Amino acid sequence: MAVSPAAWRRRLPSRSEYVAESNDRLSDDVSRSTRRGVNSPRKFTGHINRKSATITAVTIFLCLTLFRRNGGSLSSLARYDFGKQKMRPAPPLRPGTKQYKFRALASRENTLHASPCYAYGCPIYPLEVLPDFIDDEDGAIRDLVSFGLNSYATKDHVALSMVGFKGNTSPNQDRGVIMHFPIDDKDIMTTANKTKPGDFLLGIFDGHGDGGEIVADCVASEITGRLYGHLSEMQDDATTTKILVESFLALDLAVPNVEGGCTASLTLRLGDRLYVANAGDSSTVVVAFSENNYDHPQILYRSRKDKPDLESERSRIEKAGGEVYLPPPWLVGDSSRVLVPDKQGSLTGLAMSRSIGDRDAKDYGVVAEPIVGIVDLSSIGKEVEVAVIAASDGLWDMVEETIVLQTMGRSFYQGESQKDVLPSPLVAATQLILEAGINWRDDTISRGFVYRDDISLIGTKIKR
């Protein structure tokens, strides 16, 4: 049964409460860029320069802020003991603050967010990096959406997000989740449902359109329990693929009936199998590193970005009566789009051929069915290190893929010597997100406007 938009909006702070960059900030951005001269590459490919040094300093400040706010010890950053299913309480909030009110509202009106752990495990939602860090080298980390749930960053996993700048007070429409299933807990698991050490669920959901954050929030919140309920049935590749596809289709019908929608890029690990299900233009990469060679990541699987100009996608859309817009070659940075009439009769363009939600677009060939890829970990030598990196297009469009994989690979596997200071993946992911944010600003300013997409990254090392 579909949930009403009003019910899901209660899960979110009002739009006016979200981080908004003021006109003064916008003017400062332009003036700063004018003073220093704009150098606007489409993708970041450099290594050490003045901007990188600034980002590194800001990253360290950000991580130290998180470090202090979580008790001042590394162990306090790992919020959950998954084996015993106990949650470390979050630092107390000051009464009267906005976050205090939001958390109280979530606890009172939202049973989902009032309970941080469920019978099947503890979902982990991203921390949000405030955009103030980009220019002011100051700010704070706050929960993204789920004020009643703690967020997560350790030496093995990281989940971060940053709200975009879209010329108004638009909220962060990105959502994400990473969850480790409990292991051998006889009180809450049946024999058939027992998972193996290291099994997890990881996903990125990038909302778009009016109400897209509501759809993304619904999917991120519901997908964990929905898939857990089918674990006992996932005995082979064909059945698991079928369940993943059916879960996407069921969520497409169940999400609130708003104008927007979201992407979904999901990874499910069950033993030696990785299942990557993707619908939309977010992307998940399964990457391997041999013999500690982090300069040459080997891509084991990359989910496809579902764009309308792909031959098979365009054919399906046109057969359904839809129309695909193809940007002219000279229009740098634009995307092919599915043209969909809105309620007023005007055409809107959807920059993907598959998504969850987007009810109007479903009449014109857009589908929710994901493409599912499978990685067999048993065929990879034990000496090979493997990681999963999922991100929204806000990151992939502005930071070179190789740089992302190299940076995160080193943080997961070479950061062990830093474990008594800060979780290396937290530092690496923050640096990548801030780099993407600056590149968005510089790239768009060079073309006469200012825009930054929401930017999110979730990653984990594969324990074998």
- The yes-or-no verdict on residue 428 having pLDDT over 50 is yes
The predicted-structure confidence for 247-296, as pLDDT tens digits, reads as follows 999 999 999 888 899 999 999 999 999 999 999 999 999 999 987 788 89
Structure tokens of 326? 């193809």
Alpha-carbon distance 376 to 274, whole Å?
7
Domains in the chain (CATH in brackets) are 5-12+39-306+352-461 (3.60.40.10)
Q: For residue 130, which of 121, 120, 119, 142 has the smallest C-alpha distance?
A: 142
Alpha-carbon distance 464 to 462, whole Å?
6
Lowest mean pLDDT among 56-65, 81-90, 99-108, 451-460: 81-90
- The yes-or-no verdict on residue 432 having pLDDT over 70 is yes
- The yes-or-no verdict on residue 136 having pLDDT over 80 is no
- The yes-or-no verdict on residue 66 having pLDDT over 70 is no
- The yes-or-no verdict on residue 415 having pLDDT over 80 is no
Alpha-carbon distance 35 to 451, whole Å?
19
Identify whether the C-beta of residue 256 lies closer than 8 Å to the C-beta of residue 5: yes
**Inter-axis angle of helices 424-445 and 23-36, nearest 10:** 80
Alpha-carbon distance 80 to 84, whole Å?
9
CA quadruple 450, 158, 102, 209: dihedral sign: positive
Alpha-carbon distance 30 to 435, whole Å?
18
DSSP E strands: which ranges in 28-94? 80-81, 86-87
Alpha-carbon distance 192 to 155, whole Å?
31
Rg (CA), the chain: 21
**Inter-axis angle of helices 237-254 and 212-228, nearest 10:** 140
- The yes-or-no verdict on residue 190 having pLDDT over 50 is no
User: Which residue in this structure is represented by tokens 């990105």?
Assistant: 174
- The yes-or-no verdict on residue 388 having pLDDT over 90 is yes
The predicted-structure confidence for 195-218, as pLDDT tens digits, reads as follows 677 889 999 999 999 889 999 989
| pLDDT score recorded for residue 56 | 58
- The yes-or-no verdict on residue 81 having pLDDT over 50 is no
Mention every residue, 6+ apart, whose C-beta is less than 8 A from residue 260.
173, 207, 208, 209, 210, 211, 212, 213, 214, 215, 357, 358
**Inter-axis angle of helices 401-413 and 424-445, nearest 10:** 160
**H/E element, 220:** helix 212-228
Going by pLDDT thresholds of 50, 70 and 90, the confidence category of residue 140 is very low
DSSP E strands: which ranges in 342-453? 347-350, 356-357, 371-376, 385-391
Kindly report the number of other CB atoms within 10 A of residue 391's CB atom. Answer: 32
- pTM (2 decimals)? 0.72
